[in-house]
Structure 1
């Protein structure tokens, strides 16, 4: 069961702050275009299928102007990020825009710097993602966003992203300065009535032993030879590298684009071996085959533009021999029998044979990628991992499980569950770290609230007459 916190009276304002933080991250890193969106109502206000550009000034906050059209654009962004807007009024969303501009204004006042080059690079990535959803049609993209030309669209995307990043960095600066003492944690916990204390869901630790079937030397050489043939055909016969990437590359992220990626020296994107090879090449050069954790590559350096390198690559993945698969499975099955017979502990077996470097050194302990500790709450666990351990009792060892990691590599593993704690009402001693995080979050909210109240009074703010009837949670009207 998910964490339940009953009657902890965070205001709508705090909920919207959290929503804004989420929306800022999602709109910066995961925007998508919704070309066919059903009409949605935001508390008596109809959001049209497409953004409508309105030039009325809704407010001025410091050096920033909020347009009426910005409210509609923000609603579209939230919807594109998967956030339901049905529970929020236009006034609440307008209030969040005012907060964002206040943060951005004071970020500049506090000399928080954001790289324009980094923002423009991300805008390039955004537009490429958008174009993929409009079948490459810039005309359709501009029509959707009601822009007259690509330059105007890029500049607006730049300003939106820069403002969001400044606001995010200012918020981060405010909360990063907040610390909490053990006494404050105790006071926070004690002030919660016993019948309103949070309930923490079932938690457990997961141990694993991982083996990866080996690729034979013959198969590796076959892949290298194949890449050398592609290279030779391009250099000696004038064949198209891009076409070969489309037909033969096994990289799903770039094959359809002719293997193309843009690398930036100041912003690492690909794995180290890939970057080092690309940055050591000259324009028009094709590398010799080289290996990364993802497979074997050759790179064609198409263009150097200052710090940016346009490259194309072909990735080939070696095939795993059936004999290697059988060997890995048999070895894990033998270990499983020994563990169940008490001849070796799971922890010792993991340290001895597991090929997952991090968990192997820790006796098989799997780190929670979200919290960075070693406990997993069942309802928040990765669905695939949950399906693998859901029927295991504490101390049970799973059957041999096969899976592919994010790099496409085939692996086999054994899993075991330990230190299972069932759902329970918060206990100060047992759940101190979780309670501390709740207390710290409350203190952070208070710090943001105090900072905002002070900065509103110190900043030039003018809200247009058409929006002064809004029931704001903050004193934007300075009354």
Structure 2
């Protein structure tokens, strides 16, 4: 099971962001095969067919090259293990279509756009991206990325349907733990509990009003003078995720946008522009381009009020004062967090941070976010960091914080009471894995599957090779 997870992780990274530009050719191969069957088979053999999907030999070979160029070892990703993973993905996607678990073109394109923006940020320009992936035009690159993302999104929807409602009871967790031989119980690495106190520089009301007035002016220009909302978004929006595409997003009620944004978006009619409204990211206006049932095509403009340097200096000074009072014994760190921290998510828990992976209070050193690790790695027991200025990765206002390591836990063998949340997660993963295996075995029996003769000797984790 661990080796399968490792393969999945490495392959997903290659296919989505760093990735293979080759595994999305199944539609081309299906279309071309009737026209040039003999030439196609000679040049590029068919490794496997899963329902309506074709996997070519070149898909495997070129993806292997991409993965190994990224550091994957031959032991982790062999030709057979990779083919098995590609067949699994296509089985999920095939069954998703059968079960009407569809993804819209807008969803796929939005994902592709985000990935392209990330790649441009990494290498510097679209020209360098095309050069890296050996593509002549951005249209060619977008088309291939579209096919990769569509297949992955269908696959993910199907997997989520299979395991989405699976839960484990406390008794199942206990039984899972007791089944593990004592000499095989997992060892959990050294961990930390970390608390923080946050101060967010205040935005003056005058700066907020400037932004509101600007957004109202843009709204009026679009409504009264037929100005292009898309052009206005390109010119003025401060949302890095949508600015380059005219503020465009496609969303449903399940899309992970903040509540205030979704509430406004779903209150508007097609063609309507909202009044300016505030979220944690700043001030927005939304234009509804199209309503498609429970989905919206919209454009929006985000503008953030300027925070004067005087307010930034004030927030730092306040944290300095709080830090000093804790060191002098006037407050405990937890009391100071409750009384002074601006972060609602942590202040009522003594400033205690929660691990975003499992919401536990412990952070395993080898799995910590690198930025957080670098901020706390040199802190001694009872030491409080100097104020740290931290930009909001989601685009909201920056904040200052002070950090303290409130508990340290050495590397240790799993203990049921102490590590219950981690053991619960392992038990859930095992139950989900069994459900996936049972589902896959059933669908292999019910779906057209053909594995090329050269690949039938592979030791697949699933029974892909049916009796002839």
Regarding TM over 0.5, the answer is: yes
- The one-character-per-residue Cα deviations of 1:326-385 (angstroms, maximum 9, x if unpaired) are 332232222222211212111111111211112111111111111211111122211221
Cα distance 1:438–1:230, how it changes in 2: closer, same or farther (>3 A)? Answer: closer
Aligned to 1:185: 177
Structure 2 unaligned blocks of 5 or more: 23-39, 121-125
Equivalent residues of 1:32, 1:129 under 8 A apart: no
Match of 1:165 in 2: 156
Structure 1 match to 2:300: 313
Are residue 385 (structure 1) and residue 382 (structure 2) matched? Answer: no
Distance in 2 (CA, whole Å) between partners of 1:436 and 1:283 is 46
Q: 1:251 to 1:416 in 2, by over 3 A?
A: same
CA distance in 2, matches of 1:333, 1:98: 57
Q: In the aligned structure 2, how far is the partner of 1:81 from the partner of 1:275?
A: 42
Partner of 2:37: none
User: 2:285·2:301 contact (CA, 8 Å) conserved in 1?
Assistant: yes
Q: How does 1:292-371 map onto structure 2 within 5 Å?
A: 292-304=279-291, 307-371=294-358
CA offsets per residue over residues 47-102 of structure 1, 9 Å max, x none? xxxxx9977544455x4554335843993798499683744222222223344456
Does the alignment pair 1:96 with 2:85?
A: yes
Residue 231 of structure 2 is aligned to residue 243 of structure 1: yes
SS of equivalent to 2:197: strand
**Structure 1 CA distance, aligned partners of 2:4 and 2:74?**
13
Distance 1:200 1:75, change over 3 A: same
Contact 1:24 1:164 in 2 (8 A): no
User: Does the CA-based 8 Å contact 2:110-2:249 persist in structure 1?
Assistant: no
The 3 A distance-change label for structure 1 pair 454 and 209 is same
CA shift in 2, pair 1:253/1:81, >3 Å: farther
Q: Could you tell me whether the CA contact under 8 Å between 1:202 and 1:423 is conserved in 2?
A: yes
User: CA 1:336–1:368 in 2, change beyond 3 Å: closer, same or farther?
Assistant: same
RMSD: 4.3
| Match for residue 192 of structure 2 among 181, 184, 204 | 204
Of 250, 257, 262 in structure 2, the residue corresponding to residue 275 of structure 1 is 262
Q: CA 1:81–1:230 in structure 2 vs 1: closer, same or farther (change >3 Å)?
A: farther
Write out aligned runs for 1:442-461 (5 A): 461=449
Of 445, 448, 455, the residue aligned with 1:467 is 455
Give yes or no for contact 1:119–1:162 (8 Å, CA) kept in 2: no
Question: Which residue among 72, 81, 84 is the counterpart of 1:84?
Answer: 72
Which piece of structure 1 moves more, 285-294 or 232-241?
Answer: 232-241
Aligned to 1:394: 381
Q: Is the 8 A contact 2:273 2:287 kept in 1?
A: yes
What is the Cα deviation at residue 15 of structure 1? 1.3
Measured against aligned partners, the alpha-carbon deviations of 1:197-224 in whole angstroms (never above 9, x if no partner) come to 6443221111111111211122222222
TM-score (norm 2): 0.75
2:137 aligned partner: 140
Tell me what 1:115 maps to: 101
C-alpha distance 129-80 of structure 1, shift in aligned 2 (>3 A):
farther
Task: Give, in whole Å, the separation in 2 of the partners of 1:170 and 1:129.
Answer: 25
Identify if the C-alpha distance between structure 1 residues 465 and 206 changes in structure 2 by more than 3 Å, giving closer, same or farther.
Answer: same
> What secondary structure sits across from 1:115 in the alignment?
coil
Relative to structure 1, is the Cα distance of residues 407 and 81 closer, same or farther in structure 2, using a 3 angstrom cutoff? Answer: farther
Q: Please, which runs of 5 or more residues in structure 1 have no aligned partner?
A: 1-9, 37-51
Superposed displacement of residue 394, structure 1: 2.0
Whether the aligned pair in 2 keeps the contact of 1:262 and 1:308 (CA below 8 Å) is no
Counterparts of 1:349 and 1:94, CA distance in 2 = 56
Aligned length: 434
Q: Indicate the larger mover: 219-228 or 159-168.
A: 159-168
| CA offsets 1:142-188 (integer angstroms, 9 cap, x no match) | 6569xxxx7xx799668734652365246626975797342441341
Asked if the contact 2:249–2:298 (Cα under 8 Å) also holds between the matched residues in 1, the reply is yes
